Amino acid sequence: MTTETQTPANSQGTATGQKKPAGPHTLAPNDGNDGRGRTTVADGVVAKIAGIAIQEIEGVHALGGGAARAIGNLREKVGQKDLTQGVSVEVGQTQVAVDVTLVVEYPHPLQQVADNARDAVYSAVEDLVGMEVTEVNITITDIHVPSEDNDGEADDAGREPRVA
């Protein structure tokens, strides 16, 4: 990975006659120095794109920790789904860092799901936003076991208690 340093004039966006190298991670040619304007992407937009990308990964049951999922369930019941739940981003001028908290479905391999989620975030943010992703940190807080769902309660109702 190469790093570039810029003079303060270039980082402030003033025209100095020098063009920044156009790479696949810039939002617009010359970052608005061409006189046509500048594009700014809000943190929430990047978080939403990352959240959508992760939800499409096989083995991901939910995003967010326990409290966030509980609030998310309430929101879903009133018709408002939070696509940024469990996703935190830090957006710079040309780079993005993403932190994700998720729950994996049993029996999917945890590392494989994490790697697939990481790849999805890299692709989505770099392709759709046009910014370089520096890192995607994934925290797996839980495993969802299908037998823990409410569907299993009907089966338990017909069984005799094991203890008196």
pLDDT of residue 22: 33
Helix, strand, or coil here: 95?
A: strand
- Which residues does 145 contact at the CB level (< 8 Å), separation at least 6? 106
> Using 50, 70 and 90 to split pLDDT, how confident is the model at 113?
very high
Would the pLDDT of 7 be above 60? no
What is the reported pLDDT for 13?
Answer: 42
Q: Report the mean per-residue pLDDT for the chain.
A: 76
pLDDT digits over 140-153, tens only? 999 999 885 555 45
Q: What is the pLDDT of residue 26?
A: 42
pLDDT digits (tens, 9 = 90+) for 20-75: 333 333 454 445 567 899 888 899 999 999 999 999 999 999 898 765 555 555 55
Helices (H) and strands (E) in the chain — how many of each?
Answer: 5, 4
Give dist(CA 49, CA 65) in Å, integer.
Answer: 19
Q: Are 19 and 30 in contact (CB under 8 A)?
A: yes
Please state the φ and ψ torsions of residue 8, each to the nearest 5 degrees. Answer: -55, -30
